[in-house]
Amino acid sequence: MTEIRAKLGHVGIYAHDLPALQRFYGTVLGLLVTDSGPGRAGAGMAFMSGNPGNHHQLVLIGGRPSTDGYNPINQISFMVDSLSQLREVHRRALDNGATEMRVTCHGNAWSCYFKDPEGNVVEAYLDTPFHVPQPHGVPFDLSKSDDEILRETEDHCRKDPGFMMIDEYQKSLAARLNA
């Protein structure tokens, strides 16, 4: 039997207001529309990416039906390259109408969560050099320096009995996947 290890390629979500969500993701996360047009049901579609190696990382599809206060999407997560980029996403999200902002350290990642204009939860994050068992989450202060954030993260992670450096964890996971 052929072994498969799939990688997430992109996320597609339905939109009530397609142009508004295109503007939001373009402004907050720097995604560009790579293609657009009518979809199978005639509703508009927009393919968006922030990486030249990916035609699309996000697909927005018009015609989202009413969900009466329930959103079937748990979250849409985007990786950034640095704490300074995370700070900028945080600022842009607030400047562009994001709500329910939450900044959380998961030990293995620093995350900024917020709701887009249609109530979808978006996460911008970057990995840390540490691993602790999940779920794990404590608030942290993005106004602190990178060095302070790193030091505080390591201090609280080392108190977890499952703490290890990320390279140790990745070797352990690779061994499990290859077993």
pLDDT in tens, the chain (179 residues): 656 566 667 898 989 899 999 999 999 999 999 888 887 677 889 988 988 778 789 999 888 888 777 777 878 999 999 999 999 999 999 999 999 999 999 999 999 999 999 888 999 999 999 999 998 999 999 999 999 999 999 999 999 999 999 999 999 888 887 87
162 and 89 inside one domain: yes
167 and 87 inside one domain: yes
For position 28, which CATH number holds? Answer: 3.10.180.10
The answer to whether position 3 is within a domain reads no
The answer to whether position 179 is within a domain reads no
> 122: closest CA among 14, 17, 29, 23?
29
The answer to whether position 128 is within a domain reads yes
pLDDT at residue number 37: 87
Cβ-proximal residues to 125 (8 Å cutoff; 6+ apart), any chain: 77, 78, 79, 80, 86, 109, 110, 111, 112
84 and 15 inside one domain: no
DSSP state of 75: -
53 and 85 inside one domain: no
Domain that includes residue 35, residue range: 9-64
> Whole-prediction pTM value?
0.81
86 and 142 inside one domain: yes
The answer to whether position 69 is within a domain reads no
Sheet holding 32-38, edge to edge: 11-15, 58-62, 44-49, 32-38
What angle separates helix 18-29 from helix 83-95, to the nearest 10 degrees? 150
43 and 105 inside one domain: no
112 and 157 inside one domain: yes
* Cβ pair 157, 107 in contact under 8 A: yes
Q: Is the dihedral of CA 63, 94, 108, 119 positive or negative?
A: negative
The answer to whether position 125 is within a domain reads yes
The answer to whether position 72 is within a domain reads no
pLDDT at residue number 149: 98
* Cβ pair 13, 120 in contact under 8 A: yes
pLDDT at residue number 129: 97
Cβ-proximal residues to 62 (8 Å cutoff; 6+ apart), any chain: 14, 15, 18, 39, 43, 44, 45
Count structural domains, the chain: 2
pLDDT at residue number 3: 67
97 and 37 inside one domain: no
pLDDT at residue number 5: 64
Distance CA 179, CA 173 (A): 10
The answer to whether position 106 is within a domain reads yes
